[in-house]
Amino acid sequence: MDRNVRLVGVPMDLGADRRGVDMGPSAIRYAGLAGEIEGLDVACTDGGDVHVPRPEGTDPDAGAPVSGDAKFLAESETVCTRLAHEVADAVADGDFPLVLGGDHSIAIGTVNGLSREAETGIVWFDAHGDCNTPATTPSGNVHGMSLAAILGKGSFADTDWAPAPNVAEENVALVGLRSIDEEERSNIRDSDVTAYTMTDIDARGVTEVVAEALDIATDGTDGVHVSLDLDWLDPTEAPGVGTPERGGVSYREAHAAMEIIAERAAEPGRLASMELVEVNPILDQHNTTAELAVELATSALGKSIL
């Protein structure tokens, strides 16, 4: 990594049912992220946390500007708009934004900030598709809708804060899927997003799948955003997540994926930003999942075994 890394924490948990992911940024910092990055001879500054309203006393249905079910949408807008500013500022200063969640709804803010001035591809590592819309969501949780929001699907198209300005569906790849809701399945199938399931990883191996996902995300774009939902990994490796799903990638497969990202990042501008989301310290075992998030981030930023 030839740029200064700027950490931006987003202690957001309004997009998920299980409370506790708001403590993710602290847990990841506590696991030693800044020091590990500096150990790679990469400068790292901490931009602090984006302010997130507390849910207590907030009406989850207040002012929802879209039709359908989406809880805390007004707060999502506020937080994602703030985050988009922070990310755009980091990019304008020539820094590499590393965003610490928080639930996955924050990706709406990260990608909006990042794609303001640049064509952006996305590789989205996740057990879930996060492609529900307010019309198809079974839960009303925005963290299950964030990719659909970024792509302006359903009633998100009527908002001015959710659809990202310079992201083409053809440059988006989902990797590691194993839990898709019934109607979400058609949202994915009817889109131009490329979706790699765990079955694809079983058959082809993680290195081939991730290399192809990166080809898709880099084709004609200025840079790639890596969105890493820790529930992408098997819950035996990453127990501290709110929506664990059996059958995820192993510890080594996850590192292998990040190492391929690091190889490609050598080409200037290729890896544009990264976010680590869904770490839930309340459900974790001795901060294992936050420590894993730190390891995977440093792998993506160039840490190698030898």
Ligand X SMILES: NC(=[NH2+])NCCC[C@H](N)C(=O)O
**Position of tokens 């979706």?**
195
- The sheet carrying 194-197 orders its strands as 44-49, 5-10, 96-101, 271-277, 223-229, 120-125, 172-177, 194-197
**104 labeled binding residue:** yes
Residue 154 sits at φ, ψ, to 5 deg, of 55, -140
49, 86, 103, 128: the catalytic one is: 128
Q: Does the annotation place 41 within a ligand binding site?
A: no
Minimum Å gap between C-beta 137 and ligand X is 5
189 C-beta neighbours (distance < 10 Å), count: 11
Q: Which amino acid is at 92?
A: A
Q: How many residues does the chain have?
A: 306
Contact characters 197-236, Mn ion, x per CB under 5 A:
--------------------------------x-x-----
Task: Return the number of the residue (130 or 291) whose C-beta is nearest Mn ion.
Answer: 130
> Is 126 labelled a binding residue?
yes
Ramachandran category for residue 189: left, alpha or beta (phi over 0 → left; psi -120 to 50 → alpha): alpha
Tell me: is residue 192 an annotated ligand-binding position.
no
Q: Alpha-carbon distance 171 to 149, whole Å?
A: 16
Check: CB of residue 23 under 8 Å from CB of residue 282: yes
Q: Is 130 annotated as a binding residue?
A: yes
Can you tell me whether residue 111 is helix, strand or coil? helix
Interface residue with Mn ion, options 130, 184, 200, 234 (CB under 5 A):
130
Q: Closer to ligand X by CB, 95 or 245: give it.
A: 245
Choosing among Mn ion, ligand X, none, which partner's interface includes residue 159 (Cβ < 5 to 8 Å by kind)? Answer: none
User: Which one, 221 or 227, has the nearer CB to Mn ion?
Assistant: 227
Nearest-CB residue for ligand X: 144
Contact characters 231-270, Mn ion, x per CB under 5 A? x---------------------------------------
Pairing state between β 96-101 and 271-277: parallel
Among the listed residues 102, 120, 204, the one whose alpha carbon sits nearest the alpha carbon of residue 168: 120
Residues comprising the binding site for Mn(2+)?
Answer: 104, 126, 128, 130, 229, 231
Binding residues: 104, 126, 128, 130, 229, 231
**Which residues are annotated as catalytic?**
104, 126, 128, 130, 143, 229, 231, 278
